[in-house]
Amino acid sequence: MNRKERKSRILVVDDEANIRYTLKMILEYEGYIFYEAESGWQALEVLDDHPEIDLVLLDIKLPDLDGLKVLSEIKKRPYPPEVIMISGHGTIEMAVEATKLGAFDFLEKPPTRERVLLFMRNALEARRLKSAYHDIKRKAEKSYQIVGQHPLIRNLWQEILKIAPTNATVLILGESGTGKELVARAIHAHSSRASENFVQVNCAAIPEELIESELFGHEKGAFTGATERKPGKFELADGGTIFLDEIGDMSLKTQSKVLRVLEEGEVQRVGSSKIVKVDVRVIAATNKDLKKEMKEGRFREDLYFRLNVVPLNVPPLRERKEDIPLLVNYFCERFSEENNFRRKRFSPQALELMMKYPWKGNVRELKNLVERLIILTDKEEIGPEDLPDYISQDREVLLPDLRKVKTLKEFKEEAEKNFILYKLKMNNWNVSKTAREIDTPRSNLYKKLEQYGIKISAGAGEAVALSSEEEEREESPNSTGQDGR
């Protein structure tokens, strides 16, 4: 018996003291933690006090509550233990009823040591697998979380919660990388179909000659390479949700068949004359302008109107830049946890630069960058110097607002001020380091700071002593009052 099984907690519920004593001897010898109860109500009280119990051995005939009633009450709990029913005079009907109520197995009295241990090990293994499944599901749900507090995201969530309980077809529109899949999964998770399959199909990734087979399935011998019958994605999603991503890339021929599924709820496998009925909610997504595609004859008008029952627009990241710190924090926590890294953070200066970047790849681009920096950066705090050049040296950051300047002189001064501020931030407000980097004497940089009213708070700037060579250079005639350009 492994270490995890030795820690398993078992509750024995039986009104016969000798049965409880016998099972106690067996279980404690095997290293299990033993609890007991002689009635149904007492059993429920023990479970209230010890919700960590993994398995209940439950007698059907009890002095107060019927064992099946106790079983029913146990299964109403958030994380119920497995239950093995015990009976000295059980019937097949009783065993069937117990199974329907959620009992793992049915054990006859008198319970022998070998059968008790075998049934228990099977039940505990089933519980372990369920626990592992719930852990995986919880991590998956965390991976598909929609993060953001911007009004655009809050409005999107409100629409999702309104749409989800219905069976309406949804068309999700948005640029690549905005999180259209997350929206589709959120709709499914908040619908009455949440316990059924969520099947995703990337229409752009499947070759034209295979997409019909993928969506609708095929019969053995339907085409070269079809060595066995294969159900399609619509059949696999029966009772649940199918997500047709990048539907704008689907061929006109396939579009007509998808329209039939939407209108009739019927699919026909490739190579078969048989019609299969399916109950599937369809969610589609695209980054294309479907109205333009229709005008140019690449997308069916009837399918567009059938899909566009409820349209949802996912905003690009540049329209909700206030969410960038939240997203960065979320990705930092997630990737650090997944890779067993010490938790890292981004400095305010780095976040400020990231909020000014246009993020053409949207949240996907941000996610990939955060993951890369967490892996490659050794420091606990990721600063501006760790960001790639295309972000940390974004020229758009340095340009003055043209609406606020009236003369060429004002433009030059504003651009110079922005440039100096940018370089100071990049160098953690170290004046000497900044002066060297922009190739100007330190004394000249101080004059510029005074000219533009840039103040460096105590302890934030100068940290590097000048060498004698630098001091001589500072005192040279060229460094007094010159521009240094």
Whats the size of the chain, residue-wise?
485
pLDDT tens track for 337-365: 888 888 899 999 999 999 988 898 999 99
Are residues 199 and 242 in contact, defined by beta-carbon separation less than 8 angstroms?
yes
What confidence score (pLDDT) does residue 6 get? 47
Same domain, 300 and 326: no
Same domain, 325 and 308: no
Q: Burial-class residue 167 by CB neighbours within 10 Å (0-12, 13-18, 19+).
A: middle
Domain count for the chain, please give it: 4
Calpha distance 363→268 (Å, rounded):
38
How far, in Å, are 184, 416, 444, 445, 446 from residue 450 at the CA level? 55, 13, 10, 9, 6
Specify which residues 176 forms β-bridges with. Answer: none
CATH number at residue 340: 1.10.8.60
Which residues span the domain enclosing 306?
A: 162-222+229-314
Task: State both tokens at 417.
Answer: 């001020």
- Establish if 154 belongs to a structural domain: no
Are residues 202 and 246 in contact, defined by beta-carbon separation less than 8 angstroms?
yes
- Establish if 157 belongs to a structural domain: no
Same domain, 105 and 20: yes
**Dihedral sign (CA 349, 352, 357, 359):** positive
Same domain, 302 and 335: no
- Establish if 233 belongs to a structural domain: yes
The 10 Å Cβ neighbour count of residue 79 is 10
**Cβ contacts of 350 within 8 Å, gap of 6 or more:** 382, 383, 384, 386, 387
- Establish if 136 belongs to a structural domain: yes
pTM score above 0.75: no
Are residues 198 and 241 in contact, defined by beta-carbon separation less than 8 angstroms?
yes
How far, in Å, are 46, 184, 292 from residue 55 at the CA level? 12, 37, 60
CATH number at residue 433: 1.10.10.60
What confidence score (pLDDT) does residue 42 get? 93
- At which of 396, 419, 448 does a domain end? 396
CATH number at residue 61: 3.40.50.2300
- Establish if 147 belongs to a structural domain: no
Same domain, 435 and 453: yes
**Cβ contacts of 297 within 8 Å, gap of 6 or more:** none
* Identity at 321, one-letter amino acid code: K
What confidence score (pLDDT) does residue 484 get? 41
- At which of 396, 426, 443 does a domain end? 396
Residues of the chain with pLDDT below 70 are 1-6, 90-91, 137-143, 392-403, 457-485
Task: State both tokens at 156.
Answer: 């999107």
**Dihedral sign (CA 54, 55, 61, 66):** positive
Same domain, 189 and 309: yes
CATH number at residue 166: 3.40.50.300
- Establish if 422 belongs to a structural domain: yes
C-alpha closest to that of 270 among 211, 234, 218: 218
Same domain, 16 and 68: yes
Calpha distance 269→252 (Å, rounded):
18
What confidence score (pLDDT) does residue 403 get? 67
Look at the block and give the residue holding tokens 């981004």.
346
How far, in Å, are 89, 96, 153, 382, 397 from residue 328 at the CA level? 62, 52, 16, 11, 20
Query: How, if at all, do strands 105-108 and 82-87 pair?
Result: parallel
Look at the block and give the residue holding tokens 């500072």.
474
- At which of 314, 333, 361 does a domain end? 314
- Establish if 56 belongs to a structural domain: yes
